[in-house]
Amino acid sequence: MTFEAKHLLGIEYLKPEEIRTVLELADQYVDLNRRTQKHSEALIGLTQINMFFENSTRTQASFELAGKRLGADVMNMSMQASSIKKGESLIDTALTLNAMHPDILVVRHPQSGAVNLLAEKVNCAVLNAGDGRHEHPTQALLDALTIQRAKGRLHRLSVAICGDIAHSRVARSNILLLGKMENRVRLIGPPTLMPAGIADFGVEVFDDMRAGLEGVDVVMMLRLQRERMDGGFIPSEREYYHRFGLDAEKLARAKADAIVMHPGPMNRGVEIDGTLADDINRSVIQEQVEMGVAVRMAAMDLLARNLRTSKQEGIYV
């Protein structure tokens, strides 16, 4: 079992073996979570602080539950309402919290790289719960676990990621993870929502959804933010749905057993057809939520093990 990372800042910094380690352990936590008695003591005595500088219900709940099931003392801080408004810098906030000796910091921030900056200034394990357009590593890991359980493997699959790639940290983390695990990745979306230089990431880019979905094993839809729909990036919601919304007819181009994923929250009728999202034969959207808790438990457990080892060795003083 290999997992050497001190923080989980992004998929970019993980080796394929480390990804496999997280997924193996998460698989075990899935079983634990399905029992009535869901408690483990992996994080007993440790303090976990969730710092969310950006609104989040789902991710924050998932991290909170993961921490509590592992026995950590969990505290949620909604940073939008706090000292940031009083002009305190990110580093000062980090140092203040650091003085309270947390063991695990879970951070979401609206700016790319902010979590990296914070991780340099504290001496506990830092988990990136999404920073700007940069990365959202636990989302990519839970997607990977979902795919692995549905498809029986996590390599040599053809995966289509569709929608607003340019503004999506979920897309970036998934592209990196799927690439590291040797899958073929296709990106589908209007060119205005495609980041520059994306073809250099070793992916295939399509602006025709039907062509892009041809023969894929996995269809991963992304959320389209409301503020991007009003003519700035795409002409209108209905034109977007017509060209890039996932419906049964477009999905028919994919393999017959292709699964449909979405990181949530969904805009039914904008990027995905409502009936399709609820189709238990195709959609694994609810499984993704379930895997989310397990993956976060696994990631925090592994980081805590490294934390304990390094504290014994005196690295963290």
Query: How many chain residues touch another protein (CB under 8 A)?
Result: 24
Contact 48, 166 (CB under 8 A): no
| Token digits of residue 275 | 């009936």
Check residue 32 for interaction with another protein (CB under 8 A): no
| Burial track 196-215 (b if 16+ CB lie within 10 A, e otherwise) | eebeeeebebbbebeebbee
230 exposed, middle or buried (CB, 10 Å; 0-12, 13-18, 19+)? exposed
Check residue 164 for interaction with another protein (CB under 8 A): no
CA-closest candidate to residue 106, choices 23, 146, 50: 50
Binding span for another protein by CB under 8 A among 17-25, 112-120, 178-186, 209-217: 112-120
The helix/strand/coil state of 273 is: coil
Contact 183, 158 (CB under 8 A): yes
59 is catalytic: yes
Contact 129, 135 (CB under 8 A): no
Contact map string, positions 69 to 108, toward another protein, x by CB under 8 A: --------------------xxx-----------------
58 is catalytic: yes
Check residue 14 for interaction with another protein (CB under 8 A): no
Check residue 236 for interaction with another protein (CB under 8 A): no
- Out of 69, 133, 282, 296, the only residue in the binding site for another protein (CB under 8 A) is 133
Residue closer to another protein (CB basis): 133 or 282? 133
- Out of 7, 108, 109, 180, the only residue in the binding site for another protein (CB under 8 A) is 109
228 exposed, middle or buried (CB, 10 Å; 0-12, 13-18, 19+)? middle
Binding span for another protein by CB under 8 A among 54-62, 76-84, 193-201, 222-230: 193-201
Give ∠ CA 242-248-254 in degrees, rounded to 5.
Answer: 100
Check residue 179 for interaction with another protein (CB under 8 A): no
Cβ at position 136, least distance to another protein in Å: 10
| Angle of helix 16-34 versus helix 285-312 axis, rounded to 10 | 110
Residue closer to another protein (CB basis): 45 or 202? 202
User: Which residue type occupies 74?
Assistant: V
Check residue 197 for interaction with another protein (CB under 8 A): yes
Residue closer to another protein (CB basis): 71 or 132? 132
Among candidate residues 7, 109, 133, 136, the one labeled active-site is: 136
Binding positions for another protein, rule: CB under 8 A: 12, 89-91, 109, 111-114, 116-117, 131-135, 169, 172, 195-198, 200-201
Residues belonging to the active site:
58-59, 86, 108, 136
